[in-house]
């Protein structure tokens, strides 16, 4: 039976997380707009525009640097609000999450009523988020439905109607397979972004045209990424039915002898756990698509989150999600504290004392709740990572554990007219050199492409 999935999407979440949703504001990464407020959109600013283009549209626009960790921390209240409806919430990325809708919909009086209640709960947890909800068969169709919905009108695709719903959609919607919106495909997986660009050049501009092709032809021409595109375009979820549960020995756990109050040492241990888990999965020819992260404190406080990525979570992605979860848990309000009790907010200092956790972390566990066969990845002529790359990554991780994440940084291309404006610094662990855009920015090869226009 195909799963009915409800997807909650908070459009332009980085602006909401920065607290600028009520202003004419944009969030910038690499000198380009990655999110905009409603007022900025009304001023003509588009996602993907350069900094100077945004300032030309509105000279008084507020510019905010992109901070993925801030996005994740701020998304924690939204996740808690949705947790009240279901026993398990899958966080796709800060700003997007999904839940199984079939059982809860019966309890809440139907899918439409459930969608309304979930959207209202999210708005109360994060004022200004303007959450939209979509329900359909499978994650992909549900994500597209959510991005075509409005706060007052969820999009609900009837059971069995996903293929017909997807057929007229543009192929750029394949970007949401990576948990993104489809305004631009530049941040998605490299193979998927390149495939979308090539399909458009070949005249296959609609998902229905991709679905009409023979899967063997797509496999022969594009490899496993072509088969994935065909499954998505056909209304079939990106994951084939699972044959077995992951064995319990794949769970990896770290118990700390002394309670740890800081996030950085725990993230350092998470790197070791993620490497062990990824190695065990690779030995079995598997890749993790749903990761459950559990952390506990000495006082019994517990944080448990499920992180979903249909294209698979590598070791670096696992560590990133551990850091996001711990940042939101350690620095955010406790469950059942001031954030959940409106009357207590007037307590001022009393409410702030209840923020975060009350004791150090004593346990961290990573569980691959859902896995699929690893289809592999087509490498370039010169191969992938070398042993030297792995040694360098280990050294960076070790330094981060000793001196803190913010103290170990690497340059990143931002663009600009002056040399001092062209590069910034980001924490080394947040740079994913498996993504071509990060390799390009760190080596400076983007100068001819992004820097020529100035900003």
How far apart are alpha carbons 59 and 57 in whole angstroms? Answer: 7
Q: Taking the complete model, does pTM exceed 0.85, yes or no? A: no
pLDDT band at 342 (very low <50, low <70, confident <90, very high): very low
Same domain, yes or no, for 281 and 363? yes
Q: Please state, for a pLDDT cut of 70, what percent of the chain lies above it.
A: 77
Over the stretch 151-192, which tens digit does the pLDDT of each residue have? 989 999 999 999 999 999 999 888 776 555 545 444 444 467
Same domain? For 221 and 272 the reply is: no
Which one, of 411, 399, 446, lies nearest residue 186 by Cα?
446
The CATH number linked to 322 is 3.30.1490.100
Regarding whether 257 and 362 lie in a shared domain, the answer is yes
SS3 311: strand
Residue 159 covered by a domain: no
Three-state DSSP state, 302: strand
225 with 293, same domain: the answer is no
Residue 131 domain-assigned?
Answer: no
260's CB contacts (< 8 A; 6+ apart) are: 266, 360, 361, 362
The answer to the question of residue 119 being in a domain is no
Picking from 346, 373, 400, the residue at the C-terminal end of a domain is: 373
Within a domain: 173: yes
Least confident of 17-21, 345-349, 431-435: 345-349
Residue numbers of the domain that contains 188: 167-233
Mean pLDDT, residues 289-293 taken together: 93
Any domain includes 26: no
| Contact (Cβ atoms closer than 8 angstroms) between residue 356 and residue 330 | yes
Domain's final residue, options 233, 264, 287:
233
Q: Average pLDDT, stretch 405-417?
A: 76
- Residue reference for tokens 């954030």: 339
Asked whether residue 325 falls in the same domain as residue 393, the answer is no
Query: pLDDT over 90 for what percent of the chain?
Result: 45
6 burial (CB, 10 Å; 0-12 / 13-18 / 19+) is buried
One domain for residues 222 and 296? no
Residues 368 and 252 in one domain: yes
Tell me 429's DSSP state.
G
Beta-strand relationship, 409-413 and 62-65: unpaired
- 3-class state of residue 50 by DSSP: strand
Contact 131, 139 (CB under 8 A): no
Phi, psi angle pair for 355, to nearest 5°: -75, 155
Q: How many domains are there within the chain?
A: 3
Q: Are residues 265 and 363 in the same domain?
A: yes
Asked whether residue 158 is domain-assigned, the answer is no
Mean pLDDT value of segment 241-259: 79
310's tokens: 């249909």
Query: In the prediction, which pLDDT does 424 show?
Result: 79
- CA–CA distances in Å: residue 141 to residues 14, 79, 171, 241, 281: 24, 21, 13, 17, 28
Looking at the structure, do residues 440 and 327 belong to the same domain, yes or no? no
Question: What pLDDT score does 245 carry?
Answer: 62
Strands 62-65 and 25-29: parallel
Provide mean pLDDT across the span 310-327: 89
Of 290, 288, 268, nearest to 280 by C-alpha is: 288
Out of 224-238, 251-265, 351-365, least confident range = 351-365
Half-sphere exposure of 276 (CA within 13 A, CB side): 14
| Last-in-domain residue among 314, 344, 373 | 373
User: Whole-number mean pLDDT of the chain?
Assistant: 81
Report d(CA 312, CA 302) in Å as an integer. 26
Show the beta-strand stretches assigned E in 149-251.
Answer: 155-156
Residue 198 is assigned to a structural domain of this protein:
yes
Same domain, 269 and 327: yes
Q: Give 99-145 pLDDT, tens digit per residue.
A: 999 888 989 999 999 999 999 999 999 998 999 999 999 899 999 99
Q: Which residues pair with 307 in a beta bridge?
A: 91, 291
Residue 337 has pLDDT above 60, yes or no: no
- 215 Cβ contact list (under 8 Å, min separation 6): 227, 230
CA distance 215 to 368: 29
Q: Do 365 and 398 sit in the same domain of this protein? A: no
CA distance 388 to 455: 35
Pick the more confident residue, 167 or 309.
167
Q: Do 228 and 255 belong together in one domain?
A: no
pLDDT at 71: 92
Domain for residue 229, yes or no? yes
| Helical residues (DSSP H) of 332-435, grouped into ranges | 349-352, 387-403, 419-422
**SS3 category, 156:** strand
The helices-and-strands tally (H runs, E runs) of the chain is 19, 14
| Confidence at residue 260, expressed as pLDDT on a 0 to 100 scale | 92
């Amino acid at each position: 039976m195909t799963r009915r999935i409800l997807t909650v999407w908070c459009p332009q979440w980085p602006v909401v997380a920065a607290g600028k949703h009520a202003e004419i504001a944009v969030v910038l990464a690499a000198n380009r707009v990655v999110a905009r407020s409603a007022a900025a959109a009304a001023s003509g600013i588009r996602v993907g525009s350069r900094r100077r283009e945004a300032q030309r549209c509105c000279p008084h626009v507020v510019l905010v640097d992109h901070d993925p960790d801030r996005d994740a921390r701020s998304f924690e209240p939204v996740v808690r609000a949705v947790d009240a409806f279901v026993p398990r919430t899958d966080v796709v990325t800060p700003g997007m999450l999904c839940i199984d809708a079939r059982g809860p919909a019966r309890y809440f009086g139907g899918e439409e009523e459930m969608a309304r209640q979930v959207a209202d709960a999210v708005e109360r947890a994060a004022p200004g988020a303007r959450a939209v909800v979509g329900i359909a068969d499978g994650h992909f169709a549900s994500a597209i439905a959510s991005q075509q919905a409005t706060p007052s009108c969820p999009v609900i695709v009837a059971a069995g109607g996903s293929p017909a719903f997807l057929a007229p959609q543009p192929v750029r919607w394949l970007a949401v397979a990576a948990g993104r919106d489809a305004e631009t495909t530049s941040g998605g997986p490299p193979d998927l972004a390149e495939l979308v660009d090539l399909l458009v050049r070949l005249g296959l501009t609609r998902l229905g045209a991709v679905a009409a092709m023979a899967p063997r032809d797509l496999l022969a021409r594009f490899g496993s990424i072509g088969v994935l595109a065909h499954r998505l375009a056909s209304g079939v979820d990106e994951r084939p039915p699972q044959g077995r549960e992951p064995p319990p020995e794949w769970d990896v756990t770290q118990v700390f002898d002394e309670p740890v109050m800081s996030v950085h040492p725990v993230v350092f241990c998470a790197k070791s756990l993620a490497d062990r888990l990824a190695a065990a999965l690779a030995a079995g020819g598997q890749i993790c698509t749903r990761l459950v992260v559990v952390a506990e404190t000495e006082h019994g406080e517990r944080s448990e989150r499920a992180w979903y990525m249909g294209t698979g979570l590598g070791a670096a992605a696992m560590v990133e999600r551990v850091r996001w979860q711990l940042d939101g848990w350690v620095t955010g309000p406790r469950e059942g504290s001031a954030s959940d009790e409106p009357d207590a907010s007037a307590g001022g200092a009393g409410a702030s004392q209840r923020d975060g956790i009350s004791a150090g972390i004593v346990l961290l566990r990573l569980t691959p709740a859902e896995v699929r066969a690893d289809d592999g990845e087509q490498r370039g002529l010169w191969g992938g990572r070398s042993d030297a790359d792995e040694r360098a990554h280990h050294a960076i991780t070790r330094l981060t554990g000793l001196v803190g994440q913010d103290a170990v940084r690497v340059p990143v291309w931002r663009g600009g007219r002056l040399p001092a404006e062209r590069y910034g610094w980001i924490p080394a662990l947040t740079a994913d050199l498996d993504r071509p855009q990060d390799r390009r920015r760190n080596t400076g090869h983007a100068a001819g492409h992004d820097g020529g226009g100035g900003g």
